[in-house]
Amino acid sequence: KANCGDDSRADNEKDENVDAAKNQSKLEPSESVCKALKEAVEHQPTLDILSQTESSVTETVSIGTLPSLHYLNESVFEQTAPERDDGEHILLQTVTQNTDLITGVYEGGLKIWECTYDLLEYIDDEGETFSRKRVLDLGCGAGLLGILALKRGASKVHFQDYNSTVIEQLTIPNVFLNCEEDSEDEGEGKKDGSPPAKKRTLDSSHHSLSDHCSFFSGDWTSYLSLMQRKDPMLKYDIIFTSETIYNTDYYPSLHNVFHKLLEEDGVVYLATKSHYFGVGGGLYLFQRFVEDKDVFQIKSLKDIDQGLKRHIVSLTFKKSR
């Protein structure tokens, strides 16, 4: 079963979420070790993975002036097990041929959660630039935030998800879908009369992906160790993270990734619901955790007041620490 709470209780409980968080004293953040340990692994975008996109059902999201973003519809994962009536079980069942989902913990990355759309809208409104920036899409799932950064000129984008299945069957194909489209656009856009460039081959897309993106699965503590071993100087200018603070057990490792991998003048953009029913985490508890640590300043950027209250906040290093 997915570990990350109920996403569908919007209407009747919308005004109770912060109170609910405040009343859950037994769910105080602790330094307890994250129970869902999973060794971090880097995934290469192999030709095998990329060729999946050729026969798959794709969708497009267009927000404001942002470039359109393409992604595999989650029904792709459902279609192979039509006899099951429990949607979540279908997701788990159908990707288990070569996967970690049935035996291990699934953290919810196979669907796009609504705070991702909030953050995309926020980026559209505020015009964040990505040119030459190093970006981490932490808990990326489908990877739309990282893909946007990539399309907008980021020099490097790292995609991290807990589940290797999500990275291999969803994130990498999605990044590829969008790179492939860029190469077709380039061809069509030529003004010198030369014929449109041919659709980029899988092989050349593979090289271009490897130049600008890297893909990782595993838990956050293990991800941090892996990155510090790979490149002790690595820092990100921007860390995106959407719908990742539902479990208070993970707050120490999440905070540690921010602390150790964010550039001194970098920004974490965090999109979240007020409260995650059934799991207990949410903005109120995370904010308290961050304030206790006294490393970051947390600033409210946008509140969305439809259904379950949702928020976008930023974290930046305190100057006086």
Q: Would you tell me which residues interact with ligand SAM (CB under 6 A)?
A: 4, 34, 36, 107-109, 112-113, 115-116, 139-141, 161-162, 219-220, 242-244, 250
Rounded Cα distance between 126 and 55, Å, is 36
CB of 85 to ligand SAM, least distance (A): 23
One DSSP character per residue, 71-118 reads EE-THHHHTT-TT---HHHHHHHHT-TT-STTTS-B-STTS--HHHHH
Q: How far is the CB of 82 from ligand SAM (least distance, A)?
A: 25
Taking alpha carbons only, the member of 82, 11, 3, 66 closest to residue 35 is 3
Q: Sort strands 310-317 and 236-242 into parallel, antiparallel or unpaired.
A: unpaired
Q: Which residues of 188-198 are buried (b: 16+ CB within 10 A; e: fewer)?
A: eeeeeeeeeee
Q: Which is nearer to ligand SAM, 90 or 271 (CB)?
A: 271
Shortest reach from residue 23's CB to ligand SAM, in Å = 23
Q: Which of 133, 150, 140 is nearest to 116 (CA)?
A: 140
Tell me which residue has tokens 């981490």: 136
Shortest Å, Cβ 176 to ligand SAM: 18
**Which one, 35 or 199, has the nearer CB to ligand SAM?**
35
Q: Which are the contacts of 294, defined by CB distance < 8 A and separation ≥ 6?
A: 318, 321
Nearer to ligand SAM, 100 or 180 (CB): 100
Smallest gap, in angstroms, from Cβ of residue 168 to ligand SAM? 13
Joined together, the tokens standing for residue 241 give: 């993270």
Looking at the Cβ atoms of 160 and 205, the one nearer to ligand SAM is 160
**Shortest Cβ 148–ligand SAM spacing (Å):** 13
- The dihedral through the CA atoms of 4, 228, 318, 127 has a sign that is negative
The span from the CA of 215 to the CA of 106, in Å, is 18
Q: Determine the 3-state secondary structure of 9 from DSSP.
A: coil
Nearer to ligand SAM by C-beta: 167 or 209?
167
Q: How far is the CB of 8 from ligand SAM (least distance, A)?
A: 13
Closest to ligand SAM by CB, 5 vs 45, is 5
Output 206 or 236, the one with its CB closest to ligand SAM. 236
